[in-house]
Structure 1
């Protein structure tokens, strides 16, 4: 019997092996999808090249002689090579590797299979090198997707691995659909039509979380912000009618369907019920009520002057005022003093210099 330490080491080893196998399987599925995508790109580019060269010829001096002697350009090896050379970007390793590895298959199809098998993707990617599956199927054996290969996921989703040799065939449902087969509806939608193979999910009324029909009376459950009325229909909750208001003091409440928003009051207001200076609950400092609208107070026109210093003027602005020195005066040490003219300033400076010089001589 193994010791406890040996059992733990064996358990760790088995766990590591399982993780490696899981990693390999996951990467293998990804590689299968990627390989099919590369093959699809190659065959699509081949078809484009076929169209591009449809009206070309050998390009020599005597085309008629060349076609008689070298066979027609339309089915020539030269045309095939011109197409094959343009199948991949130079930087695409996977594409170039696949073309190089299977170049003989392109020649076989071009010269022997093209007439009987005109669909290159089907012949090359699906039937010959077997890296893709027919549409609506998946996996190594090209099994039908959930819902059937004709309408995978019943037409309401995407089959994992559809058209490739990878994937698990599970459905990723489109918006509005859910469930393994994409036949059920998500919240906010109801089955307008439903049977074992078809489902049509239609949006509920905006007020419904779940519903059985298209109107607000068909709601099974109301969305948040809506409530049942006396007729059992979902109607909007007016959050702005609540007391106290859900908004701040300097905001007003704006009700919306299923919700609300808070908007800033006009700057003339101290509290408000809506937008604009006529919706104020009270006027802000510097404003006064004039027939129901908050308007600016002109402090400069008041009976008692607000600017009291000598040679000072009052300038009104929105909600307040400024006191500034009159023209020809400037503020010095809290007083409005007369500005000196340039000549007098020079004389004053000269006088100060002279006084200073005489003082030094003394």
Structure 2
């Protein structure tokens, strides 16, 4: 097997050279985040390995013998090796490197400290090799996130670096919230509860850009396409308008597509009466709609594969037509 040059004493397969060379390019904060993520993955895979090997090779026969043998296997080096062998994918350099570098710590925990410190992640990743922080803290010194470690960002956002040795502890707020501590409401939301530790923001009425309450009368500013009426409530502009100064088709700033200004009002264009036909397929009629039009097959025709074809009558209909009396009230002889 060929190895990356200059990596002694740790032998790194050639396929991992790229990963090794890329690590120095990462910033210090990114490397710390990666280290914590890697360690968390190792702890999770170890716990999965414990579950997978809990009853391995047992399950029938001499129960007393099995219990005695299983008791030895539970804390054996054989079981530890089986678990460690499956902690990392072969292509994951960071994982393999961390396990190799700290295998003695894992062995020490397995044989001597597991009962006293049952949480491998906490003991190994946070306390022993110090690549992660407790939840709600961040950075090299595991400082409390903004809003406190119990409820980072007051429960309304994500703390940068939460649980890692990276990040700066700043808050990325959920869409409803804004501000350094995620205690203020974003545009389109209003506060239903706010104190020093809690904030609850609720969506405004669909008419409101900003608001103080839940109805369209509580809008501070109307959304585009809405306007305040005489009662100071935001109401939707007429369908004929793009923007308006009031209610009705005579208050449009600009007429919407499919409308034209006539007598100071935006009125519907009847596309079906335009000089140039808009429905051009054979056996097709035009039906005007508000702001638009539809092309439909003429009576006695139906849509099929993009064309209007004559409706095929059923046998019952044909028989009815054949027995109908001829014009004038006399049957055909």
TM interval, shorter chain, is 0.5 to 0.7
Cα pair 1:58 1:73 within 8 Å, conserved: no
- Normalising by structure 2, we get a TM-score of 0.66
What corresponds to 1:179 in structure 2?
Answer: 179
After superposition, give the CA deviation of every residue in 1:134-180 in whole Å (9 maximum; x if it has no partner). 00000111110000001000000000000001110000001111000
Distance 1:265 1:89 in 2: 67
Q: Does 1:222 align with 2:226?
A: no
Distance 1:280 1:173 in 2: 45
Structure 2: give runs of 5+ residues left out of the alignment. 1-23, 241-248, 261-266, 280-284, 291-297, 300-307, 309-333
Q: Does 1:163 align with 2:172?
A: no
Q: How does 1:122-141 map to 2 (within 5 A)?
A: 122-141=122-141
Cα pair 1:185 1:201 within 8 Å, conserved: yes
After superposition, give the CA deviation of every residue in 1:216-275 in whole Å (9 maximum; x if it has no partner). 011111112111111111111115124797256xx358xxxxxxxx99966x4328xxx9
- Count matched residues: 246
Question: For residues 252 and 277 of structure 1, do their structure 2 counterparts lie closer, same or farther at Cα, with a shift above 3 Å needed?
Answer: farther
Cα pair 1:57 1:73 within 8 Å, conserved: no
Q: Does 1:246 align with 2:255?
A: yes
Cα pair 1:141 1:165 within 8 Å, conserved: yes
Structure 1: give runs of 5+ residues left out of the alignment. 1-23, 254-261, 282-294, 297-317, 319-362
Q: Does 1:54 align with 2:63?
A: no
3-state SS in 1 of match to 2:162:
coil
3-state SS in 2 of match to 1:192:
strand
Cα pair 1:187 1:209 within 8 Å, conserved: yes
Distance 1:203 1:34 in 2: 37
Distance 1:278 1:68 in 2: 86
Cα pair 1:270 1:280 within 8 Å, conserved: no
What corresponds to 1:89 in structure 2?
Answer: 89
What corresponds to 1:72 in structure 2?
Answer: 72
Distance 2:58 2:138 in 1: 43
What corresponds to 1:110 in structure 2?
Answer: 110
Distance 1:27 1:263 in 2: 61
Question: For residues 245 and 228 of structure 1, do their structure 2 counterparts lie closer, same or farther at Cα, with a shift above 3 Å needed?
Answer: closer
Cα pair 2:239 2:256 within 8 Å, conserved: no
Q: Does 1:269 align with 2:253?
A: no
Relative contact order (C-alpha < 8 Å, sep 6+): which is higher?
Answer: 2
What corresponds to 1:19 in structure 2?
Answer: none
Distance 1:280 1:133 in 2: 63
Cα pair 1:269 1:280 within 8 Å, conserved: no
Distance 2:253 2:172 in 1: 47
After superposition, give the CA deviation of every residue in 1:274-313 in whole Å (9 maximum; x if it has no partner). x9845489xxxxxxxxxxxxx89xxxxxxxxxxxxxxxxx
- Structure 1 segments of 4 or more deviating over 6 A? 62-71, 262-265
- CA-atom RMSD, angstroms? 3.5
Distance 2:210 2:197 in 1: 23
3-state SS in 2 of match to 1:72:
helix
Question: For residues 232 and 53 of structure 1, do their structure 2 counterparts lie closer, same or farther at Cα, with a shift above 3 Å needed?
Answer: same
Distance 1:81 1:160 in 2: 36
Question: For residues 247 and 156 of structure 1, do their structure 2 counterparts lie closer, same or farther at Cα, with a shift above 3 Å needed?
Answer: closer
Per-residue deviation, 1:66: 9.9
